[in-house]
Amino acid sequence: MHSPLLKRYTCLNEHSARQRRGAGGRWPVRARTLALSLGLSLTMAAVPQWGHAADPADLFKEHDPMSTTTVDHGQWADVLSAYVSMSPDGITRVDYAALEASNADTAKLAAYIDMLQATDVSALSRDEQFAFWVNLYNAVTVEVIIQHYPVASIRDISISPGLFAKGPWGKKLVSVEDAELSLDNIEHDILRKLWTEPRVHYAVNCASYGCPNLALTPYTGAGLDAQLTEAAQAYVNHPRGVQFAGGKLTLSSIYDWYGKDFGATQAERLASIAQYADPALAKQLAAHSGRIAYHYDWALNDTANAPGGIASN
């Protein structure tokens, strides 16, 4: 597949390319060599470069099924309790302004993330690991927001490598067991690869209105299944997750971007969604066989953006 960046370069330079080819319709040797070299460089720049680094899924595939060790998520619980609340529209929102203004609680959040980075995650049970990675992802996301606050959307925090990259997801932000990891690594290379669990998409939060709720309490190994089910139900039964209007079905773009995680066919994906839907909605999903529209709102899940709130930027 051609890199989008290389394709753009080719389109922008098509006119000058024709001029340089000459009457014979071929590039001079030096021009062909330069074009090939530049094209290769642009292609390489547009594709994530792992080099010889190991796949994060391989690095963290080990676990101890007999382990009774639990991770203390108390500091994260304190932050969630103080700054995350359920708004009247059924979406949990974060008071980023208040958290950013509190030196004590920003330090607590940083200390929690440092503690997770020092954890021997490979010695944990599978459920404890899952909770570990979800909480790390969500805590780091909140920290990234307050480090750049105020912002209208997480996509405005363009710190990822790559000329056209948007958002913070590709930047290495944490180190666990000496492996430098990005948010993308945690979600896609660890959680989605090591667990065949579509409910992961209801647990990780990308600080956006269109995203499933940031949980009001930390995920835990002991309560994991019930917490994931509760998160799935909250999202599926909210209009930003699933909505029928005038016979038209609109789903969150999550079901488009990661459709294969929910099933190989449209019917399988709708069945996966329907198992968490209220009875009336589940019946509509089971009967639907037509086209599906997709939507996602990247507005920040800020309390200032809640119904009746005042925008901070």
* pLDDT digits 0-9 by tens, 176-213: 999 999 999 999 999 999 999 999 999 999 999 999 99
What total of structural domains would you count in the chain?
Answer: 3
If asked whether residues 209 and 66 sit together in one domain, one would say yes
If asked whether residues 156 and 246 sit together in one domain, one would say no
Q: Is residue 74 part of a domain?
A: yes
If asked whether residues 18 and 84 sit together in one domain, one would say no
Q: Is residue 255 part of a domain?
A: yes
Q: Is residue 301 part of a domain?
A: no
Give the residue ranges of the chain where pLDDT is below 50.
Answer: 1-52, 309-313
**Distances 79 to 5, 40, 156, 216 between C-alpha atoms, Å:** 41, 46, 24, 10
**Sole residue written with tokens 């991770």:** 71
Using alpha carbons, select from 192, 286, 282, 266 the residue that is nearest to residue 233.
Answer: 282
Q: Is residue 29 part of a domain?
A: yes
Q: Is residue 302 part of a domain?
A: no
If asked whether residues 190 and 258 sit together in one domain, one would say no
Whether 124 contacts 69, CB under 8 Å: yes
Structure confidence by residue, pLDDT tens digits, 238-251: 999 999 998 899 99
The answer to whether the Cα torsion of 248, 252, 255, 257 is positive or negative is positive
Spatial separation of the C-alpha atoms in residues 289 and 47, rounded to whole Å: 37
Q: What pLDDT is attached to residue 122?
A: 97
Q: Is residue 306 part of a domain?
A: no
pTM over 0.85: no
If asked whether residues 161 and 26 sit together in one domain, one would say no
Q: Is residue 310 part of a domain?
A: no
If asked whether residues 115 and 217 sit together in one domain, one would say yes
If asked whether residues 63 and 201 sit together in one domain, one would say yes
Spatial separation of the C-alpha atoms in residues 296 and 106, rounded to whole Å: 29
Q: What pLDDT is attached to residue 307?
A: 82
If asked whether residues 163 and 38 sit together in one domain, one would say no
Residue 223, classified by CB atoms within 10 Å of its CB into exposed (0-12), middle (13-18) or buried (19+), is middle
Q: What pLDDT is attached to residue 40?
A: 38
Query: What domain range includes position 64?
Result: 56-228
If asked whether residues 68 and 117 sit together in one domain, one would say yes
If asked whether residues 20 and 88 sit together in one domain, one would say no
Q: Is residue 125 part of a domain?
A: yes
If asked whether residues 62 and 138 sit together in one domain, one would say yes
If asked whether residues 259 and 224 sit together in one domain, one would say no
